[in-house]
A and B are shown apart, each in its own frame.
Chain A
Amino acid sequence: MLKVRNLNVSYGGIHAIRGIDIDVERGEIVTIIGSNGAGKSSLLNAVSGMVRYQGEMEYEGQQLPSQPHNIVKAGICQVPEGRLIFANLTVLENLKMGAYLRNDAKEIERDLERVYSLFPRLAERKKQIAGTLSGGEQQMLAMGRGLMSSPELILLDEPSLGLAPMLITTIFEIISEIKAMGKTILLVEQNAFKALAVADRAYVLEQGIITASGPASELLRDSRIREAYLGRK
């Protein structure tokens, strides 16, 4: 579905991503794990067209568009790190912003109901100003907003960041549910254990280079990865 070849991203003098290859197949959850500053967010921002890059990216056999809004139109949506919800808008308005490029009112209404059933808290608070939501609710809103664009591929950037352990479990359950809805997910996470548990395949990104990749269950057993990212032997 998504094919990334020899991707390079640099900011000023920093070479954040150094020639990586990544594949995402339809219907799977692929996770990119790695420490802070490894280049995980840069990868997602390159796919979303938010940063300049060198290299090739193909989506569904076609060259990926370059403008962010055309990438959303093509069916790729990013749920960004730090959620970046519109704190000045209501919950419902935030969700409507997710459907910004769509004109199919009936389908939008149906997707809205789906998002509400996935996140009942959002339904209860749809008239509330989004800035007053708790951190966990804001993460749910960011994910719901992303789903409202009716994407085929969802890029999730650190969905568990800053959340309480119970909420983290909930968020990962929802990620599985989103997969069950037929969506493809590229998940970037620092919480390697949870990410590997939910994913089909994984890549380990270290200082802009992929140092390991394979089925998530295998990486979960890999002693080197257990030591570096899971904090256990």
Chain B
Amino acid sequence: MSIFIQQIINGLSIGSIYALMAVGYSLVYSILNFSNFAHGGVIMLGAYFGLYAVTLVGGLPFLGALAVAALLAGLVAVALEKIAYRPLRKRNAPSLYFIISAMGASIFLENLVIVTIGPTFRTYPQMFSAAPIALGNVTISRIDVLMFAIAAISLAVLMFIIEKTKVGLAIRACSFNTKASNLMGVNVNRVIFIIFLLGGMLAGVAGMLFGMRYTVYPQIGVITNKSFIAAVFGGLGSLPGAVVGSLLLGIIETFGAGYIASTYRDLIAFSLLIIILVIRPSGLMGRVTEDKA
């Protein structure tokens, strides 16, 4: 029983990091209808930004470094949108062009880091006690609790913005129809700027947490493959779907790794993707169009 609870906690912890990344995919997809595969590059940079904030700048405390990582990653995402996507949007290019541009940007960022910083693995200095928290038979690592708590807070802030603010209303309106939003006076370019900023900031948070938990290296962005699967699982374009899909994927993976073998982890994740695409392509909470007109 204690192993079972342990696995759930591990699953939620990794799943919450997937969720931080997956909402970035979903935000962009919901408005621009393409999968932003450069997202992994932003997450990778977030891990490096956090690392340098902790080690270089006189050693910022954890939360300060997290803020720096979020902000810089947000700016990178916004710059990517301006350089890699906006010119395509102006020309009404098909989605495929956006995806190719995103893949190019992803490869560019990865190689930029290899050339400038180097391909070696780096680790964060230890910022929290490695001693696990014991609750009866269950032991939880502090970093897992921290990851989950920070992811939950970040996602709650995002949900608040989307559901309760005027900008959020505009984002939801644009996700249904950018033309109509434009006719209502919404500056669509500004909304797109905001979703890249929000998605990029969450990517920065995710990158730093992930880097702290494991290691930092130029290919760390590959982890977004998992969060992409989670976003598809939950229903691309749906934020609650991205969160639920991520948590479920995290739990399913850890159970697979715990009860079968850890080498099965990725096999399980990708099998899940194929099964969903065959049975329910729109995902758990995918968009159902209700346009009657």
User: Which A residues contact B (CB, under 8 angstroms)?
Assistant: 48, 50, 67-69, 72-73, 77-78, 80, 82-89, 93, 96-98, 100-101, 129, 131-135, 138, 145, 149, 162
B182 touches A69 (CB 8 A): yes
Q: Which chain A positions have C-beta within 8 A of B181? A: 86, 97
A134 to B290, CA, bound (A): 11
Partner among A50, A149, A162 whose Cβ is within 8 Å of the Cβ of B185: A149
Q: Give the contact stretch, choosing among B99-107, B122-130, B170-178, B222-230.
A: B170-178
A87 touches B289 (CB 8 A): yes
With A50-B179, A69-B182 in contact, do A97 and B292 touch (Cβ < 8 Å)?
no
A98 to B185, CA, bound (A): 8
| Shortest Cβ-Cβ A-B pairs, 7 listed | A131-B290, A72-B185, A84-B180, A101-B185, A83-B293, A87-B290, A69-B185
With A50-B183, A86-B177 in contact, do A100 and B290 touch (Cβ < 8 Å)?
no
Total contacts A-B at CB 8 Å: 86
Give the distance to chain A from B291, nearest Cβ to Cβ, in Å.
5
Among A67, A77, A85, A101, residue most surrounded by chain B Cβ atoms (within 10 Å): A85
Q: Which chain B positions have C-beta within 8 A of A93? A: 169, 172-173
A100 touches B184 (CB 8 A): yes
Nearest A residue to B175, CB-CB: A88
A86 touches B182 (CB 8 A): no
B170 touches A135 (CB 8 A): no
Inter-chain pairs besides A77-B183, A100-B185, A138-B292, 15 sampled, C-beta below 8 Å = A50-B179, A50-B183, A68-B182, A68-B185, A69-B186, A72-B185, A85-B180, A86-B172, A86-B176, A86-B177, A87-B176, A89-B173, A93-B172, A97-B169, A145-B184
With A96-B169, A97-B169 in contact, do A88 and B290 touch (Cβ < 8 Å)?
yes
Nearest B residue to A96, CB-CB: B169
B183 touches A68 (CB 8 A): yes
B183 touches A86 (CB 8 A): no
Interface size on B, residues (CB 8 A): 23
User: Which B residues contact A (CB, under 8 angstroms)?
Assistant: 166, 169-170, 172-173, 175-177, 179-187, 287, 289-293
List 6 A-B residue pairs with CB atoms under 8 Å apart, sorted by A's residue number.
Answer: A69-B186, A82-B293, A85-B180, A86-B181, A97-B184, A132-B290
With A101-B185, A145-B184 in contact, do A84 and B179 touch (Cβ < 8 Å)?
yes
Give the distance to chain A from B172, nearest Cβ to Cβ, in Å.
6
Q: Which chain A positions have C-beta within 8 A of B289? A: 87, 131
Give the distance to chain B from A127, nearest Cβ to Cβ, in Å.
15
A69 to B172, CA, bound (A): 17
A50 to B180, CA, bound (A): 10
Give the distance to chain B from A159, nearest Cβ to Cβ, in Å.
12
A145 to B181, CA, bound (A): 11
A89 to B181, CA, bound (A): 12
A84 touches B185 (CB 8 A): no
A131 touches B179 (CB 8 A): no
A133 to B293, CA, bound (A): 10
Nearest A residue to B291, CB-CB: A87
Give the distance to chain B from A232, nearest Cβ to Cβ, in Å.
30
Among A77, A86, A133, residue most surrounded by chain B Cβ atoms (within 10 Å): A86
Q: Which chain B positions have C-beta within 8 A of A50? A: 179, 182-183
Nearest B residue to A155, CB-CB: B183
Give the distance to chain A from B202, nearest Cβ to Cβ, in Å.
22
B291 touches A131 (CB 8 A): yes
A77 to B183, CA, bound (A): 7
Give the distance to chain B from A185, nearest Cβ to Cβ, in Å.
16
Among A88, A98, A131, A134, residue most surrounded by chain B Cβ atoms (within 10 Å): A88
A77 to B182, CA, bound (A): 11
Q: Which chain A positions have C-beta within 8 A of B292? A: 87, 131, 133-135, 138
Q: Which chain B positions have C-beta within 8 A of A84? A: 177, 179-180, 183, 293
B169 touches A69 (CB 8 A): no
Q: Which chain A positions have C-beta within 8 A of B290? A: 87-88, 129, 131-132
A185 to B14, CA, bound (A): 57
Give the distance to chain A from B201, nearest Cβ to Cβ, in Å.
24
A39 to B186, CA, bound (A): 25
Q: Which chain A positions have C-beta within 8 A of B170? A: 97, 100
Q: Which chain A positions have C-beta within 8 A of B186? A: 69, 97, 100
Q: Which chain B positions have C-beta within 8 A of A135? A: 292-293
Give the distance to chain A from B179, nearest Cβ to Cβ, in Å.
7
A134 to B187, CA, bound (A): 29
A68 to B182, CA, bound (A): 6
Partner among B166, B169, B176, B185 whose Cβ is within 8 Å of the Cβ of A73: B185
Partner among B169, B183, B185, B287 whose Cβ is within 8 Å of the Cβ of A80: B183
